[in-house]
Amino acid sequence: MPPHRRRAACHTVLLVGEGTTEWAFLKHIKALYLSRGCGVSAAIRNAHGKGPDHVVDYAIRQCRNAAYDRVVVLLDTDLTMSAAVRRRVKSRKIHVIGSTPCVEGLLLRILGERVPGNSAACKAQYGRALPARLTAPKDYQTHFPKDVLDGQRADVSELDELLKCLLFDK
SS3 string, the chain, reads: CCCCCCCCCCEEEEEEECCHHHHHHHHHHHHHHCCCCCCEEEEEEECCCCCHHHHHHHHHHHHHHCCCCEEEEEEECCCCCCHHHHHHHHHCCEEEEEECCCHHHHHHHHCCCCCCCCHHHHHHHHHHHCCCCCCCHHHHCCCCCHHHHHHHCCCCHHHHHHHHHHHCCC
Q: What is the mean pLDDT of the chain?
A: 91
pLDDT per residue as tens digits for the range 88-144: 999 999 999 999 999 999 999 999 999 998 999 998 998 888 877 788 888 899 899
Check: CATH 3.40.1350 for 11-167?
no
pLDDT per residue as tens digits for the range 75-93: 999 889 999 999 999 999 9
Is residue 161 over pLDDT 90?
yes
Is residue 9 over pLDDT 60?
no
**What pTM was computed for the model?**
0.91
Q: What's the rounded mean pLDDT across residues 19-29?
A: 95
